[in-house]
Amino acid sequence: MALTIRGLSKTYPNGVKALRNLNLSIGNCMFGLLGPNGAGKSTLMRTIATLQDPDDGSIELDGIDVLREKNEIRRILGYLPQEFGVYPKISAFEMLQHLAILKGMTQTGERKDFIDALLQQTNLWDVRNKALTTFSGGMKQRFGIAQALLGNPRLIIVDEPTAGLDPAERNRFLNLLSSVASDRTVILSTHIVDDVRQLCPRMAIIVEGELLLEGAPAETIAALNGRVWSKIAGNDDEFRSLESQFRILSTYLVAGQRAVRIYSESDPGQGFHAVESGLEDVYFLHLRPFPHARASASGNGSSNGQPVQ
């Protein structure tokens, strides 16, 4: 399966340019879409899911024109939006029954068997008769995956699925997501770098609706080997001095002291030591200095990419 996006642009009535001539190709895998809040990820996901139209561009899925053949796409699409509503007093089983009928699953026995299997797969079998309003955040997200899997879709879109989950629920959800991605295309849209690092063999970084980077996480990390350095910034004056001299990727605390990670092609001296590169370094390298003009996708700009999560 191949999803091909060409020249996609979208400007909202308030003047916000959510997508800017975006081109992207996604194969049969778990694909991570990284970017800060407001980067245009949700706009792209809603457009692929046929919930809104772009101003320009095209989307094709295995020969199907997504923008013109919306009903055809909806039959093979599963979608978990960033926020989704449910009827407050209905049980998980009843809700899945209702949604399955809307999906065209009209054979009663076949439908029940499929829903039972989904509830087992998402570890919701024991609570299948409980009202959805009693579910925890993680349980609701697992239910969201269950409804997205109705009809055995070939393409699944999940938008910021782990935001707000505690660590245990997040791990359960990521394990579930990994298990359903073995034989279909899954697009994971998130601003959480670790989700992409753990799950995705391919990824892209989007900022202000523009594609800055596309590739394999392992390869993008390897490309930074020997170019990431760290040291403790003893005080504010030293930090400001470092900020004026180097491209700072991120700052963090070590035993209550502020440390910095910088990008440098060669040994910067001044007490810096080389550190192992990670996907966060790749991410911050390609971010603009929020909220001003971004660095180029090649990483040769002069931005000080700061964490924006």
| Domains (range + CATH), the chain | 1-76+154-215 (3.40.50.300), 85-150 (no CATH), 221-286 (3.30.70)
**Residue 85 predicted with pLDDT over 80:** no
Per residue in 37-47, pLDDT tens? 889 999 999 99
79, 139, 161 from 124: Cα distances, Å: 19, 7, 17
Asked if 278 and 209 touch (Cβ cutoff 8 Å), the reply is no
Supply the pLDDT for residue 301. Answer: 35
Task: Determine the Cα–Cα distance for residues 53 and 75; give it in Å rounded to an integer.
Answer: 18
Evaluate whether 301 touches 294 at the Cβ level (below 8 Å).
yes
Beta bridge partners of 273: 230
> How distant, in Å, are the alpha carbons of 17, 82, 111, 139, 210 from that of 38?
10, 13, 39, 26, 12
Burial call 143-156: b when 16+ CB within 10 Å, e when fewer: bbbbbbbbbebbbb
Residue that the structure tokens 């939006």 belong to: 81
Q: Which two tokens stand for residue 260?
A: 């910095």
Q: Are 147 and 102 in contact (CB under 8 A)?
A: no
Strand, coil or helix: what is 57? strand
Residue 201 has what pLDDT? 94
Structure tokens at 246: 């180097």
Q: How far does CA 91 lie from the centroid of its chain? A: 29
Q: What is the pLDDT of residues 20-74, one digit of tens each?
A: 999 999 988 899 999 998 899 999 999 999 999 999 999 999 889 999 999 999 9
- pLDDT, tens digit, for every residue of 211-241? 999 999 999 999 999 999 999 987 889 888 9
Q: What's the pLDDT at 128?
A: 93
| 279 closest CA partner among 236, 250, 243 | 250
**Which pLDDT score, from 0 to 100, does residue 305 have?**
35
Q: Whole-prediction pTM value? A: 0.84
Beta strands in 255-309 (DSSP E): 257-263, 273-274
Half-sphere exposure of 278 (CA within 13 A, CB side): 12
Q: Give pLDDT, residue 94.
A: 94
Q: 124, 142 in Cβ contact below 8 A? A: yes
Q: What is the mean pLDDT of residues 168-175?
A: 86
| Residues 6 or more apart in contact with residue 7 via CB below 8 angstroms | 21, 22, 23, 56, 57, 58
- Work out whether strand 3-11 and strand 17-26 pair parallel, antiparallel, or are unpaired: antiparallel
Going by pLDDT thresholds of 50, 70 and 90, the confidence category of residue 86 is: low
Higher-confidence position of 20 and 1: 20
Tell me the average pLDDT of the chain.
Answer: 87
At 37 the pLDDT is 87
| Percent of all residues in the chain with a pLDDT value above 70, rounded to a whole number | 92
